[in-house]
Homo-oligomer: A and B are copies of this chain.
């Protein structure tokens, strides 16, 4: 999860790398599916490593779908689809921050899912850790994220 059109260069680079590493693990990548920002970069990284990519689209407008999405789930329910993103994922990775991403992290905590914050702001790390000590993990590099995910999955 991460910003759309306004995503930073570093967040998009991290997202691409993460997508690649997720695919290399044989995991399925699920994103918000649009052809911008973190979701597009992550999907492209996963496809570069022959992964399977799912996109949960907010609108019924095919011109907004990332080319790197294999399976487009069309919700036509706007940002309410953020709850589906979260409930359908085993682990949530937030790559950077924005209002949509913040809603996903909050919904993930509500659903008792684990969330990894990669390259997040200090304000965000402090706030979400205050909301849930147990569900929030902090990472600085994509490699760290993968290691944390493995730990979470092996605990289930």
Please state the number of chain copies in the assembly: 4
9-residue interface stretch from A18-26, A37-45, A75-83: A75-83
Contact flag A87-B74 (CB < 8 Å), given A99-B109, A107-B79: yes
Could you tell me the distance in whole angstroms from the C-beta of A87 to the nearest C-beta in chain B?
Answer: 4
Residue in B54, B75, B98, B130 whose CB lies within 8 Å of A84? B75
Tier of interface size on chain A: 35 or more
- Using CB atoms, name the residue of chain B closest to A130: B123
Query: Which B residues are CB-close (under 8 A) to A111?
Result: 60, 79
Q: Produce 1/0 per residue, A81-125, CB < 8 A to B.
A: 111100110000000011110110011011100000000010110
Assembly CA distance A81 to B97 (angstroms):
22
- The yes or no answer to A141 lying at the interface (CB within 8 A) is no
Contact flag A88-B110 (CB < 8 Å), given A83-B80, A123-B130, A131-B102: no
